[in-house]
Amino acid sequence: MRFSGSCAGAGLFCAALGFLTAGPAAAADMPFFSPPPLDDGPAELGTGWYLRGDVGYSNITSPTIIADLVNASTRTGSVSGSLGAGYQYNSWLRTEIALDRSVIRPNATSAPVWCPYQNHPLSSQPEYNSNGVLIAPSQTLGYGVDPNETCLARTTGNLSRTTGLFNAYIDLGNWYGFTPYVGAGAGVSYVRSNGAVNYYKSSNGTPYTADLSPVEGYPLVWIDRITGAALTPQPGLAFAQQYWDRSRAKSSWKFAWALLAGVTYDVADNIKIDVGYRFLNSGKYVGLAGSSGATAAPYDLVSHEVRLGVRITTD
């Protein structure tokens, strides 16, 4: 088929023919036919996200877990571990959140304390004159004290601290793969403690229990077995079944803050080894009250820690 002349009078046909012959060039000039841009995936907040994990060790003075035995001078090691996630904003600033847990288990043993293993009713010896005539009958005196009957009190404690911190760091430049840093953090600590005191006979190490119930006819008085005289002052020990073991527990929330410093080393493009120091303060801790009502002095719950960790970027 052959066409000649102009397109006058055939406007619709000519418009369609022009579009087909214009090809891709014409389509590119028309916004509503432009191809969509390449899909780069969901929008990203940045490429500085990282995960971290580390362990720490501190050699600290243990707090008094339970006031029955003051063991504040006992030194013990504490191991902690933490997991966290952070974001590197630029070459010098980063922040993170981290969850940390540590446990302190102080133990102590007291000096021997008197603990009667059983009742020792004492009576005076009868007196006779030279002719063998009774002049003073025997009398019931009370209960004799044997100083060789002693116990050792062993106190055990467990104080766990779970801490959530928001930390901010300033990186001080990269030097041949090493990046020193300083930082600070703030958050909260959940502190839970339990303590127990258990008594054992010094003679054989068995748990201490004793029935000191009074014997009929004997006055309720503790007597020196050598002199036969009543002790002054009298021991505050009831004439009854004895069981001295006891335990306590409590928990509390406390404000926590930390200071940090250390250095990282680039093992690979997305892996860093972190060696650092952390000072962590979880406020004042008051030990558990003893069964006698005694209380422990407040203790600054702080730790000086050496920490080793790994940081992995998620790019």
Domains of the chain: 48-313 (2.40.160.20)
Percent of all residues in the chain with a pLDDT value above 70, rounded to a whole number: 80
pLDDT score for 274: 97
Mean pLDDT calculated for residue range 277-290: 86
Is the whole-model pTM more than 0.85? no
pLDDT score for 6: 45
Q: How far apart are CA 241 and CA 244, in angstroms?
A: 10
Alpha carbon dihedral 84, 88, 89, 91, in 10-degree steps, equals: 150
User: Nearest 5 degrees, angle CA 158-CA 199-CA 110?
Assistant: 75
- CA-only gyration radius of the chain, Å: 41
31 Cα distance to chain centroid: 64
Q: Which of 193, 171, 167, 157 is nearest to 100 (CA)?
A: 167
Say if CB 231 and CB 224 are below 8 A apart.
yes
94 vs 287, residue with greater confidence: 94
Say if CB 163 and CB 130 are below 8 A apart.
no
Task: State pLDDT tens for residues 103-153.
Answer: 888 777 878 999 999 999 998 888 877 877 777 778 899 999 999 999 998
Mean pLDDT calculated for residue range 256-260: 97
Residue 213 scores a pLDDT above 70? yes
Work out the number of other CB atoms within 10 angstroms of the CB of residue 235. 10
What separation, in Å, do the N-terminal and C-terminal C-alpha atoms of the chain show? 63
Q: How far apart are CA 189 and CA 206, in angstroms?
A: 39
pLDDT score for 69: 59
Q: How far apart are CA 84 and CA 299, in angstroms?
A: 28
Q: How far apart are CA 147 and CA 48, in angstroms?
A: 71
Contacts of 230 (CB under 8 A, 6+ apart): 141, 142, 221, 222, 223, 224
pLDDT score for 67: 74
Q: How far apart are CA 191 and CA 281, in angstroms?
A: 12
Task: State pLDDT tens for residues 260-282.
Answer: 999 999 999 899 999 999 999 99
Task: State pLDDT tens for residues 160-180.
Answer: 999 999 999 999 999 999 999
pLDDT score for 28: 40
Say if CB 248 and CB 271 are below 8 A apart.
no
Confidence band of 75 (pLDDT split at 50, 70, 90): low
pLDDT score for 256: 96
pLDDT score for 43: 38
Task: State pLDDT tens for residues 23-55.
Answer: 444 444 434 334 444 444 443 545 789 999 999
